[in-house]
Amino acid sequence: MSLNVDRASTAFTFKGGMLPMTVMELISADPERIREQLAGKLSQSPAFFQHTPVVLSVEKLDEPHLALERICAVCRAHKLLPVAVRGGADPIKQSAWALGLGWFPPQEIKPRNLESVAVPAPETPAESVPQVAGGGRIHRGTVRSGQQLTAPDGDLVVIGSVNAGAEVLAAGNVHVYGALRGRALAGIHGDALAGIFCRELHAELLSVAGNYKRLEDIDPRLLGSAVQVRLSDDQLAIAGLT
- Contact by Cβ (8 Å): 156, 175: yes
pLDDT per residue as tens digits for the range 205-241: 898 987 888 888 888 999 999 999 999 888 899 999 8
Bridge partners of 230, per DSSP, are 237
- Residue 135 burial (CB count, 10 A): 13
Q: Which residues contact 44 (CB under 8 A, 6 or more apart)?
A: 152, 169, 188, 189
Phi and psi, residue 141, nearest 5°: 135, 175
Listed ranges 58-67, 109-118, 211-220; the one with the highest mean pLDDT:
211-220
Percentage of the chain beyond pLDDT 70 is 80
Task: Return d(Cα 231, Cα 140) in angstroms, integer.
Answer: 27
Give the domains, in start order, of the chain with CATH numbers.
22-104 (3.30.70.260), 114-240 (2.160.20.70)
Reduced to 3 states (helix: H, G, I; strand: E, B; else coil), residue 192 is: coil
Q: What is the mean pLDDT of residues 174-197?
A: 92
Q: What is the mean pLDDT of residues 29-42?
A: 89
Q: Which residues contact 140 (CB under 8 A, 6 or more apart)?
A: 115, 118, 119, 159, 160
Could you tell me the end-to-end alpha-carbon distance of the chain, in angstroms, rounded to an integer?
Answer: 59
Q: Which of 15-19, 60-64, 184-188 has the lowest mean pLDDT?
A: 15-19
Please name the amino acid found at residue 198: C
Rg of the chain (C-alpha set): 20
Quote the pLDDT of residue 6: 58
Task: Return d(Cα 168, Cα 179) in angstroms, integer.
Answer: 13
Quote the pLDDT of residue 74: 93
Q: How does DSSP assign 118-160, residue by residue?
A: --PPPSS-GGGSPPP-TB-EEEES-B-TT-EEEETBS-EEEES
pTM of the model: 0.54
Task: Return d(Cα 209, Cα 148) in angstroms, integer.
Answer: 18
Quote the pLDDT of residue 227: 95
User: Is 111's pLDDT higher than 50?
Assistant: no
Q: What is the mean pLDDT of residues 116-138?
A: 50
User: Is 67's pLDDT higher than 80?
Assistant: yes
Bridge partners of 179, per DSSP, are 200
More confident residue, 31 or 64: 31
Segments of 154-226 assigned E as strands: 156-159, 167-170, 174-180, 183-186, 196-201, 205-208, 211-214
